[in-house]
Structure 1
């Protein structure tokens, strides 16, 4: 059955007249009558009959009226969804974000993305740094946002199969228990070297904040302080609040932690963390992921490779 013929049939039943339906459909009466006849011959049943009240559906026509209306609605809905997805307005975005970018920048990026792609479904995960690369390579992740102190090193490590684009730089402040509430602003880094530093475990696959600090201490001739490994930055805050150590995070953390911890800029200041976006160079981006990349990166995302139907999933 041609979906156009079903549309014609539905309009004829709505108007009760072939001539009126032809005007609504902006076509002449003969081809409309021919389309109806072809539909009846294809189905082998009579769909409409003339009465004193005009043209009305037969029993078979009533069944087609009921199920055909649903079929046309579903077809129109499918067409709209396919059109939105083709324009990057819908679909699913599998996104991984390693803190602290999620605190400082992600909310406004997602708000802008939602304006452009209101029907897109976003799956957001906070994954271990070591699993990010495998997620990108396997296709489980469309885009990952990573905070690293060594973006050039990342590009060298994964230049063959991962696109790495800079997003922004994030300044770093010390995160201290409340006994430091009267500490000077900024606080001297040397005054904190006897504290226990709570930091994520070093990760050679995605060098992060711990590698940045260790490189900085060694480059400036400082002895390494006591280090205690934490699983993530989220779990660090309760430990700092309980005066079990100190840490380093973007200063925006103070807006979240409120009065439970103290943040202080450091003197001398630490090098910034670099937030970078990563995705597969082999697969490219889906339409919806490309829309997200445009929000995230601006004009630099215009030339990204869009995944086609022939690309591996």
Structure 2
């Protein structure tokens, strides 16, 4: 007994369309005897006569007409399956989960994500705003495909990640337009220490501590906010002097003023991380967009990928 294969379906459809074994065989690129043999084998497998062979030509029987409806549908579905498989292999469909800190949504991610969405409109793009510890944990736990945070992820599994800088910042202060600092180009750490402060939650616990090493009391008493937009809003409400990354200046609000902090204090870089051995074509397509749109990231990224043990071992 011969199992029905895709070629049997194509043979039956071609024979129905041409109504002649010779012409059908020619359209299929095979000889007539093998086509006759395969159609006979198909009829034995189905258990019904599918074609009437007459002197006027070959015509589907009632059973053949019913079979051909399903055969054409199956061939069409197989064609769509091949197209879907090829598109998935090119990263044109699928899902990409990205966790980001709010400052990255000011720059450079709007350009990157916008161009990626336009180039891959059928990819399900899931972007979640998180703190740096949350994006790191999400990537290490497998809940994210890409993490963008301030500094690279640490802890168990971090050695399996590729992490590349995508943006640099220094510290700035933001105040209400009515605050005495408004209009000044800069403020000193000593001036900040005398003011109520508003900082991001994870910043207070990490990279701002060295700035207030001599007197941690102002930082310990600071109000905390989840993101830079909240910091700017609280500063506008005169709740305190907000501290955040220099890209926070991109927030367009007429009721706040930004000052540089003196001495200039560099913050940890914005870093993009992903699993080195992740085979996702969608991730590969996203990285291509990053290469084209983030200055100096492309060559650095390619170098990291070329030397990463998780990839070179594969």
Among 57, 63, 67, the alignment partner of 1:64 is 67
Alignment correspondent of 2:48:
45
Is residue 95 from structure 1 mapped to residue 89 from structure 2 by the alignment?
no
* SS of aligned partner of 2:110: helix
User: For 1:169 and 1:253, how far apart are their aligned partners in 2?
Assistant: 12
Aligned to 2:206: 211
1:105-184 correspondence to structure 2 within 5 Å:
105-114=108-117, 117-148=120-151, 151=152, 154=153, 159-180=158-179, 183-184=182-183
CA contact (8 A) 2:176 2:257 kept: yes
Aligned match of 2:293? none
Aligned-pair Cα RMSD in Å? 3.3
- Residue 265 of structure 1 aligns to a residue whose secondary structure is strand
Distance 1:252 1:160, change over 3 A: closer
The separation in 2 between residues aligned to 1:56 and 1:256, in whole angstroms, is 73
Are 1:268 and 2:267 counterparts? no
Partners of 1:130 and 1:289 lie apart in 2 by 22
Q: For 1:168-200, what per-residue CA distance to the aligned partner results, in whole angstroms no more than 9, with x for missing partners?
A: 323443222222598345222344433322112
CA–CA separation in structure 1 for the residues paired with 2:54 and 2:230: 77
- In the alignment, the residues of structure 1 paired with residue 287 and residue 161 of structure 2 have an alpha-carbon distance, to the nearest angstrom, of 15
Conserved? CA contact 2:132–2:150, under 8 Å: no
Aligned partners of 1:115, 1:201: CA distance in 2, in Å? 34
Calculate the TM-score normalised by the size of structure 2.
0.77
Preserved contact between residue 237 and residue 257 of structure 1 (Cα < 8 Å): no
Deviations 1:54-77 (A, max 9, x none): 544322222222222222222222
SS in 2 for 1:141: coil
- Aligned equivalent of 1:6, options 1, 9, 30: 9
Partners of 1:176 and 1:35 in 2: CA distance: 82
Contact 1:17 1:55 in 2 (8 A): yes
Where 2:222 maps in the other structure, the secondary structure is: strand
Match of 1:284 in 2: 278
Residue 194 (str. 1) matches residue 188 (str. 2): no
Contact 2:99 2:138 in 1 (8 A): no
| Number of residue pairs matched by the alignment | 295
The superposition leaves residues 134-176 of structure 1 with CA deviations (integer Å, 9 ceiling, x where unpaired) of 422332212211123xx5xx55886444443322323443222
Instruction: State the Cα deviation string for residues 19-51 of structure 1 (Å, max 9, x = none).
Output: 443343333333333332222222112223357
Q: 1:18 to 1:242 in 2, by over 3 A?
A: farther
State the Cα deviation string for residues 260-301 of structure 1 (Å, max 9, x = none).
4333333432203311122346x6342322332343352424
1:252 to partner: Cα distance = 4.4
In 1, Cα distance between equivalents of 2:30 and 2:180:
79
Is 1:232 matched up with 2:227? Answer: yes
**Deviations for 1:231-271, whole angstroms, at most 9, x for unmatched residues?**
33343333222221232334444444432433333343220
Q: Aligned-pair distance for 1:108?
A: 1.6
Match of 2:287 in 1: 293
Task: Tell me the TM-score normalised to structure 1 length.
Answer: 0.78
Q: Distance in 2 between matches of 1:231 and 1:156?
A: 23
Residue 73 of structure 1 pairs with residue 72 of structure 2? no
CA–CA distance in structure 1, aligned partners of residues 251 and 25 of structure 2:
64
CA contact (8 A) 2:140 2:158 kept: no
